[in-house]
Structure 1
Amino acid sequence: MFADAFAWLVDAANWSGPRSIPVRVGTHLLYCLGAVLGASLIAVPVGLYVGHTGRGAVLLVGTGNALRALPTLGLVTFLYLVAGGGEVGVLIALVVLAVPPILAGTYAGIQDVDRGVVDAARGMGMTGAQRLWRVEVPNALPLLFGGLRNATLQVVATASVAAYVGIETLGRPLLDGLRVVDYGQFIGGALLIALLAVLLDVLLAGVGRLVVPAGLRESGARARRRNKPVAAESGGSTG
């Protein structure tokens, strides 16, 4: 099967035309970037507000868990039909699915900031907005980027479902391979999705290393290790 997958990947016929591998990679990537950007515009401000003020934390956690529990294929199909077909409904569905990881990362990043540092900033006479942007946000960047990377990986995998409603993403080889029992095509498409996910994760990790100071990266890694058992338990309960 892997030999068949390699043969499918190197077949010149799959690299030209409107349904070629480059076209599908571009469409897949476009949906992923649009979904992550749209989710960030929603989730980051909400996470900053709730984390900074402490208001609505229970509602935020409950909403995030509810969104995680939504069935991916059902949501994509439902919003596709509600939007009357086209690409808008699929993009909205991907945005909805990308919101929880970014929201959780942003909120957890603000909450993880040492309260002593925040109190010191307050004692220096900083306003609430100054404390947020000069103290809390810089210290929250490691977990915020972690949530962004998690959302990107989830959207890369989820965008393949868009092929179910006729959009030419990298999910199309998976559906076509299953339909005609061509496991070489199926595995080839899965490898392309995995490769795209790895490349985007490496890119975001590089951006994070440039933006986040080394000391904060180390503290973020320690925070992720502390929160890992809780996150695993939460994921198991909603999956």
Structure 2
Amino acid sequence: MSQLILALQWATDPAHWSGPTGIGVRLLEHLWYTLLGVGIAALIAVPIGLLVGHTRRGRGLAVAAAGAARALPTLGLVTLFGLLLGIGLLAPLIAFVVLAIPSLLAGAYSACEAVDPRTVDAARAQGMTELQILTRVELPLGMPLLITGLRSATLQVIATAMLAAYVGNGGLGRFIFLGLKTQDYPQMLGGSLLVIALAIAVEALLLGIQRLTAPRGLA
């Protein structure tokens, strides 16, 4: 309990929030890493997932690929890419993209599959093209499931973005690894609490977005 109190004191000390290595800067770095990782993963996974969900083809392959990606150890990936690519952001960023793809892929194809086939058939009967059906029918109705995938991917990347510090980058992981190295356990625990607080705040934000984007009849 005393360590937790010391960690809270460390995390709320205004002196630790200022400067180029303060909590404020590390927090922004952590958010930037998360945004990059999830954003790149979304550009890859969402179009593929929507195509799979709309056409109902390749679902088995998509599920297998997502499951295989989930089984990969993130720390192992960061270490491997760090050895191959050297110190920098590219190595952990690739690992974050790999980590985020399964949830985004699953959310995208589930968004299309969840739509009642009769609704899709009715849209086709009205002369809508396949692209119109996807963008005007399936995607709006399945948006909550797509956001669910985004929420899952974002929380996973936030939780593991601290590993960027493992190969010389910033983020809240700097406090964790520095605290471990110097046996400054209040700083180490304080960094962990900041990651948890950030994850909760982002989860609340995305949950609000999910509720706002839910079709009125399904809310």
**Could you say whether these structures have the same fold, taking a TM-score greater than 0.5 normalized by the shorter chain as the test?**
yes
CA apart distance, 1:7:
2.3
Alignment partner, residue 218 of structure 2? 216
| Deviations 1:108-134, CA, capped at 9 Å, x for gaps | 111111111111112222221121111
Q: From 73, 80, 83, give the equivalent of 1:81.
A: 83
* Matches of 1:149 and 1:117, distance apart in 2: 27
Q: From 147, 152, 172, give the equivalent of 1:150.
A: 152
Q: From 107, 132, 135, give the equivalent of 2:134.
A: 132
Aligned-residue CA RMSD (Å): 1.4
**How high is the TM-score relative to the length of structure 2?**
0.93
SS in 2 for 1:186: helix
> What code does the residue aligned with 1:195 have?
A
Q: From 17, 22, 25, give the equivalent of 1:23.
A: 25
> What code does the residue aligned with 2:66 have?
G
Q: From 34, 37, 40, give the equivalent of 1:38.
A: 40
CA apart distance, 1:97:
0.7
| Deviations 1:122-151, CA, capped at 9 Å, x for gaps | 222222112111111111101000000111
**How high is the TM-score relative to the length of structure 1?**
0.86
1:52-131 → structure 2 map (5 Å cutoff): 52-131=54-133
Say how many residue pairs are matched.
217
* Matches of 2:48 and 2:26, distance apart in 1: 33
List gaps (5 residues or longer) in structure 1: 218-239
Alignment partner, residue 236 of structure 1? none
- Sequence identity of aligned pairs in percent? 53
> What code does the residue aligned with 2:207 have?
A
> What code does the residue aligned with 1:196 have?
L
Mean CA deviation greater in 100-109 or 76-85: 76-85
> What code does the residue aligned with 1:127 have?
T
| Deviations 1:30-62, CA, capped at 9 Å, x for gaps | 000111111111111000001111221111011
**Distance change (3 Å), C-alpha of 1:12 and 1:127:** closer
| Deviations 1:180-224, CA, capped at 9 Å, x for gaps | 33221122111100111111111112222333323334xxxxxxx
Alignment partner, residue 196 of structure 1? 198
* Matches of 1:144 and 1:26, distance apart in 2: 25
SS in 2 for 1:8: helix
> What code does the residue aligned with 2:17 have?
W
* Matches of 1:53 and 1:212, distance apart in 2: 23
* Matches of 2:157 and 2:29, distance apart in 1: 13
